[in-house]
Structure 1
């Protein structure tokens, strides 16, 4: 319940941290974004609303905009890279053991997909909860070319940080938005979760 309360009142939660810990807010935000993009088990962390509200706080002078953007960009890139290499390491171990349950055709198809559509995948995946955590891992597992992954994931991270933090900076303190941030957080999380769910349903129906 405390976690749910913190998620629904991120602005109050972050303000309380700033009041109590000051500049340590940067390290806390860095850790949250890094963890969500690097660790599969932490896919539920609220990256999108966190960036938006952080931008709104930057507009009030509570945090410095350019420091915030730079740190969270680095956090997203480092987290995605760690996730990629974890997936790559696991993928190589599984392939070399030649497990019977491993569908090599599916693995090759996944690799071909990422090689062909990697740019689009990583430009949009960070905006979608769950996808931003699992996409780098799957790219590494399927042995996507690292240079392509690095380029596309870095550009995607830059867009993610720019769009959401600047969105919060310019619009987060408009009264009607500020007074309904908890609803915006819920809508953001719900919309992000709905996209992969709807896609899975369509795939099931098609099959």
Structure 2
């Protein structure tokens, strides 16, 4: 079977725990990794650590270590790259998914402040890719960024992995339903972006109405 970089099981069956490290490092530290399946890979890796008839069996300690290392080192690398010209690189990107992620990351930073934004971004695909270099470009203090990216990185990487492990341990033969479960995880992880897009569309649709009312009031 050909290797599919969009498929979490391809990474895990080919590289095991090393695949977890590589995906998380690239997704959180390199802009080219924005499309990688971080959430579904973590959950699937945890699931494959349980005892059962899985085609691939992974070691839970090794997966947890790889997940934490990839998430933390990746974010810190992205921050470092951002300090050295990441803002220009983000601005020049023509990929619509990255540009949407930049807008969302800027809004999260403005609305929640550094700490909450850095933690929250871990759970939003694409945003967790662009927020780290953006934080570096915006000159967020290194100590502040490091503290909160470690907190968010550990909660996200270890939490999602252990959720997969816990579900796999409690439900026999759950690997039969792996594809539907991954689909649900992807939908849930993308829901914040979908909600934000819907909110912006509604706001955009209401603006012409408000302008028309304002103009009418001035005419009267």
TM-score interval, normalised by the smaller of the two chains: 0.7 to 0.9
CA offset at residue 119 of structure 1?
Answer: 1.9
Change (3 A) 1:142 1:195: same
Is residue 86 of structure 1 aligned with residue 81 of structure 2?
yes
* Offset of residue 201 of structure 1: 3.6
Asked whether the 8 Å contact 2:83–2:137 carries over to 1, the reply is yes
Alignment: residue pair count: 183
Equivalent residue number for residue 60 of structure 1? 51
* Residue 3 of structure 1: how far off its partner (Å): 6.7
Alpha-carbon contact 2:28-2:128 (below 8 Å) kept: yes
Q: TM-score, normalised by structure 1?
A: 0.74
Assess, with a 3 A threshold, how the Cα gap between structure 1 residues 6 and 38 changes in structure 2: closer, same or farther. closer
Match among 22, 30, 43 for residue 31 of structure 1: 22
Per-residue deviation, residues 121-175 of structure 1 (Å, max 9, x unmatched) = 2222212211111111211121111111100000111101221111111103524
- Cα–Cα, structure 1 residues 32 and 115, in superposed 2: closer, same or farther, change >3 Å? same
1:67 Cα deviation after fit: 2.2
Cα deviation 1:168-193 (Å, max 9, x = unaligned): 11103524743222122222223322
Residues 1-44 of structure 1, C-alpha deviations (whole Å, 9 max, x = no match)? x676962xx44x35643xxxxxx522222111111111112211
Instruction: Tell me what 2:39 maps to.
Output: 48
Structure 2 unaligned residues grouped into runs of 5+? 90-105, 205-220
Are the equivalent residues in 1 in contact too, given 2:28–2:74 (CA < 8 A)? yes
Aligned ranges 1:1-207 → 2 under 5 Å: 7=7, 10-11=8-9, 13=10, 16-17=13-14, 24-60=15-51, 62-90=57-85, 113=109, 117-172=113-168, 174-175=171-172, 177-206=174-203
**C-alpha root-mean-square deviation of aligned residues, in Å?**
3.1
Q: Is the 8 A contact 1:122 1:156 kept in 2?
A: yes
The secondary structure found in structure 2 opposite 1:147 is helix
How many Å separate the matches in 1 of 2:154 and 2:28?
14
Once the two structures are superposed, residues 66-100 of structure 1 have per-residue CA deviations (whole angstroms, 9 ceiling, x without a partner) of: 22212211111111111111112115879xxxxxx
Larger radius of gyration: 2
Q: Report the TM-score when normalising by structure 2.
A: 0.70
